[in-house]
A and B are shown apart, each in its own frame.
Chain A
Amino acid sequence: MNILVSFSSLMGSGEKELLQGIYNYYSKLRETVLLFKDFMARVSSVGDLQAYYDKINKTETEADEIHEKLAEAIASGSFFSYIRDDFLDLLEIMDFMADYSKDVAKMFNEYNVSRQALNFLFKETLFNDFVQAIVDTVDSFGTVLSMLKKSPPREILIKIKEVEAMEEKADFVKDKTLIELHNKGKSLDVLDIITLREAINLMDNIADSAEDSSDIIIRLIAKGYK
């Protein structure tokens, strides 16, 4: 029976199903990131954050469940056996996009940052651009992931350069935001500045994990096509 299963899986569609599964997982992660963006819009206005945070938390948990199922499928399947570990690494790194979204949302939800500091952050710095740059980097990685199913490696490698460019842009905007926060926000409470600085640095990890995930795709290609 095992042999029959092995022979049928020779021509099987396991690879395509797995890639689709990874894309679905990404979609859930992106949903978390977009909820995080909505959450930040809510932070800038005055409103109840708990309901928004709960949504992020729920979506992140759902993403974790998909992650677990995919990891099981990769570990037990016979497809991509020579790059199996890299696929597991990819899932692990992608997970940080949702994890950090949740962590930052939790900070804003639980720490009492003053309204003065929040107004300064959203109105006097490039913080909104930074949030958008993070979402753009995540979206750009999504395009790379969707190409994995249907495009040859050369085209994927070109697209990966765009993810790197997006992440660099996010880094640039982050640095500008931090500089403005430190140089112009002298009137703010020191504790608020520390909290915001930590939140900005944690948010940067969302874009970083999108870029790191695209780096793993480079590794997949380098190993798979060698």
Chain B
Amino acid sequence: MNLIGLLDIALLIVLIYLFGLNNGAVFEGGLAGSAGFNYSMAAITVGLGILLGTILQGEYTASYAKTLGPMYATYGLLLLVVQVFLFYAFTLVNLPLSITQSLVGGWLAILIVEGVKHISENVSWLFLWWIISPFIALVFSAVLYKALRRLLFKVTISTLSIVIRISALVTVFYTSFVLGANNVGFIAGAYSLTYVEIALLAVFASLGAFRASGMSKAVGEDLIVVGPIGIISAVLGGATILLVLTYLKLPASLTTVTMGGLIGVGFSSRPRIFKADYLRWVILSWVMAFLLGFAIVYLLLIILKPFIFFALV
């Protein structure tokens, strides 16, 4: 492995940790709280889910990464630096960020600066799905929530507690699996990672996911207060939509679909707290993820290109 390859891995580890910290909060925080998991059990579930998802199903979005265009080695490194910066900044202000959207944005900037004539037609298809997927998740999660609530209203409170505990564990695993299959699979495809490297990333993603207290509070308490059935419905609904997108070979954002699901559940259950300001910022971050990824990489390349003489190495 050359120096750039080593730097890639080092930056990917930092990025994936921040990614776990930022994205993990959307689902693990509330779910682990609902189920009363201890740290080690939750971390193993997330790590195993991401690892298995990436290895078993990661090929779908990895194959999409291959259709985007060439990932130039030095520019790939720059792209990672920008991603790390973006994730750090967004996590500091407790806003969820999509790794796929900002990465695709930056990647397209590289291709445009490099003057690549033909950029995959799949990109417009991808944009379309990015726009509609949160709305599908919104409706799907709301329906799932209504159905689950109706079903569980027939059981005793102790049975409900056991059902929630098991469902939360299954949902955390399932969501981590889908996150691995879609998001980490896409990164693995973009940077041609080996299984050992993927395993390493899974460990760091899981470590990040359970250090996400500030983000969990922002998403769980500041946005919408929903109960355990609501959280499970939102996360399960969002992850299912992301799984469908994975099979369509489209990298997409778990935070976007899960937030869509949370909003759907929130609207159908008359939420107690609903911070419209924070919601506006969350929705803005969906748009900003791609635009910032694109704009920062584009500007940096325009400025730095004359100095990066080994860009195509």
Contact = CB atoms under 8 A, between A and B. Distances in A.
A19 B158 CA distance: 8
A225 B228 CA distance: 8
B309 to A, nearest CB: 52
B227 A149 contact: no
B35 A81 contact: yes
A152 B41 CA distance: 31
Given A148-B156, A150-B156, A15 B161 contact: yes
Interface string B136-170: 00000000000001001111111011101110010
Contact of B227 (A7, A12, A82, A151): A82
Nearest to B169: A10
| Chain A interface, >50% SS class | helix
A220 B169 CA distance: 22
Given A10-B169, A78-B36, A226-B229, A152 B269 contact: no
Contacts of B33: 81-82
Instruction: Give the residue among B157, B227, B230 with the most A Cβ atoms within 10 A.
Output: B157
Contact of B228 (A15, A82, A149): A82
A154 interface: yes
Interface string A1-32: 01100110011100110010000000000000
Contacts of A148: 156-157
Given A82-B164, A149-B156, A150-B156, A223 B41 contact: no
Interface residues of A, number: 29
Given A81-B33, A82-B228, A15 B152 contact: no
A2 B227 contact: no
Contacts of A47: none
Interface residues of B, number: 30
B34 interface: yes
A192 B295 CA distance: 84
A3 B41 contact: yes
Given A152-B155, A223-B227, A226-B227, A11 B162 contact: yes
A3 B153 contact: no
A221 interface: yes
Nearest to A77: B36
A105 B91 CA distance: 59
Given A11-B162, A82-B228, A226-B226, A152 B156 contact: yes
A153 B153 contact: yes
A79 B156 contact: no
Interface in A147-172: 148-154
B37 A78 contact: yes
Contacts of A80: 157, 161
B34 to A, nearest CB: 5
* The 10 nearest A-B residue pairs measured at CB: A226-B227, A81-B36, A78-B36, A15-B158, A6-B41, A15-B161, A82-B34, A82-B228, A3-B41, A16-B158
11 contacts: A3-B44, A6-B37, A6-B38, A82-B33, A82-B164, A149-B156, A152-B154, A224-B161, A225-B149, A225-B153, A226-B230
Interface of B: 33-38, 40-41, 44, 149, 152-158, 160-162, 164-166, 169, 226-230, 269
Given A152-B153, A152-B155, A225-B160, 17 more contacts: A3-B44, A10-B162, A15-B157, A19-B157, A78-B165, A80-B157, A81-B34, A82-B34, A149-B156, A221-B157, A223-B227, A224-B160, A225-B149, A225-B152, A225-B229, A226-B149, A226-B228
